Amino acid sequence: MGKNLSILFPAGNDRFLRRRRIHLFSFGTGALLFEQLDDRCAVKNRKNQEDGMKKVLFVINTMGRAGAEKSMIELMKSFDTKRFELYLLSLINRGEMFEYVPKHVQILNAKPDSNTVLSLRARLKIGKEILKKCFYQGSLFKNIGGLKDNWTFQRKSGRVQMDKLLWRIVSDGTVRIDQDFDGAIAYLEGGAAYYVADRVRAKTKMAYVHIDYKRAGYSPAMDKHCYEKMDQIFLVSEEARKSFLEIYPALEEKTKLFYNIIDAQEIKRLAQEKEGFTDSHDGIRLLTVGRLHYQKAYDIAIVVLSELLKRGYPVKWYVLGDGSIRKELEKQIEDYGVKEDFILLGAVSNPYPYIKECDIYVQISRYEGKSIAIEEAQVLGKAIVASNCTGNREQITNGVNGTLVELTVKNVVKGIEEVIDNPELRRKYEKANQQIDFESRKNMDLLYDLLEGSHERHTNRHSGLQ
């Protein structure tokens, strides 16, 4: 018995696209999807070509509330809507950032789900969605060898990350979009990059890399040469670029820097919108914004706070964010007796009042590409203590606009103590960060040149000239 599902495809001038029916026929452990596109798609595509509009597709893994997703939204806002028509596909149809997609962007997901990706209910729902993708066109069976090799690779590296094991299956298990695009942008590593490389028809293909690629646990075997299929690879910091090229040295000519786009004025406006902290603490407030993940080193932060309290500092450490290791962190907080002082506030839609009200912003990640959270704290003129890792080193000049520390309990304690004990140093950092110019939209000209030269590049590629 077939089961009717709905999916969205471009139609007319609607932001959310006209629905057609898809029939899903289940056969035991497999599934076949038969899609039916609306004839109006072809009409619209012809109209766009006549108007000279360029069609650009963004692909991302999820729409969860995280730095890359926020950066993508700002990039979309920066596009010239008279020259470009934008589309968005999220491989996992869930995430709070669906609510912030600009109205000129057409979302290709059916019934975008703007709930969190981090709750237990969300993980169960996402697990069910991934299970379906496993059997679409034999995605799981095609990738079983690679899955085994990647599992072995991660075991040897000392940490198994399930998302990196599954992104290839998710990509191959996602229905192809039966359209041609002038440009396709994979805005995250993993599934989005695989999907754009292998399952999208576009004249120009681009990928963004937001992390320290080597430390994040990716490998060429896992990627299956997807980056060789890109015309341009954008890195968000020079150190992120160096890390990527350690794995892919042959792709150096394809790589360029493209800094995160942030709206400083909007951040300042939102910081005034409401109150942040609601407790009665009148001591030092430390704040970190970021998902609860191994990368962010909260396990070290908890021990650091315990040591600061032992030394008599009237300090509380607040965390805005949620994630899969929350239970582990709650147990560690209990074990160290800091339940009243290390406070997991969860994810919030507007973190800026909290950033504005904190005394010191702390970001002691194990690795970064370039931290949007640090940039947001700088916009709001905060004193910052950060780990001396990839990305952070390009944002913080030690002793000038923040303190960089090696990621050990002893060094982090020392760095925070220094800023607490020296009000003049704190004011120096605050003033320096207030003076930073965050105008990064000049990167748009580079992007426009790539997209508007896409026809010539596409012709050369297929005639053997590239």
CATH code of the domain in which 17 resides: 3.40.50
Let me know whether 321 and 424 are in one domain: yes
First to last CA, the chain: 49
Let me know whether 231 and 126 are in one domain: yes
The pLDDT of 345-369, averaged and rounded, is 95
Q: How far apart, in whole angstroms, are the C-alpha atoms of residue 361 and residue 285? A: 9
Residue 21 has pLDDT above 50, yes or no: no
Residue 463 has pLDDT above 50, yes or no: no
Q: pTM of this prediction?
A: 0.77
Residue with tokens 């406006």: 269
Let me know whether 295 and 209 are in one domain: no
Structural domains of the chain, count: 2
Let me know whether 385 and 236 are in one domain: no
The pLDDT of 182-206, averaged and rounded, is 95
Which structural domain, as residue segments, surrounds residue 164? 3-261+441-463
Nearest to 444 by CA among 320, 283, 259, 268: 259
Q: How far apart, in whole angstroms, are the C-alpha atoms of residue 359 and residue 140? A: 49
Let me know whether 13 and 43 are in one domain: yes
389: three-class secondary structure by DSSP: coil
Secondary structure letter of residue 381 according to DSSP: T
Let me know whether 455 and 319 are in one domain: no
Q: What is the pLDDT of residues 238-273, one digit of tens each?
A: 999 999 999 999 999 999 999 888 899 999 999 998
pLDDT for the residue 217: 73
Determine the residue type at 10. P
Q: What is the CATH number of the domain that holds 420?
A: 3.40.50.2000
pLDDT for the residue 162: 58
Q: What is the pLDDT of residues 420-432, one digit of tens each?
A: 999 999 999 999 9
Q: How far apart, in whole angstroms, are the C-alpha atoms of residue 434 and residue 8? A: 44
Q: How far apart, in whole angstroms, are the C-alpha atoms of residue 396 and residue 415? A: 13
Residue 34 has pLDDT above 60, yes or no: no
Neighbours of 72 (CB within 10 A): 25
User: 82: Cβ–Cβ under 8 A, 6 or more apart, which residues?
Assistant: none
Let me know whether 252 and 274 are in one domain: no
pLDDT for the residue 5: 33
272: three-class secondary structure by DSSP: coil
Q: What is the pLDDT of residues 135-160, one digit of tens each?
A: 565 666 566 656 666 656 656 666 65
pLDDT for the residue 202: 96
Let me know whether 253 and 302 are in one domain: no
pLDDT for the residue 154: 58
Let me know whether 147 and 237 are in one domain: yes
Residue 372 has pLDDT above 60, yes or no: yes
Let me know whether 209 and 242 are in one domain: yes
Let me know whether 139 and 158 are in one domain: yes
E strands, 364-422, are: 383-387, 403-405
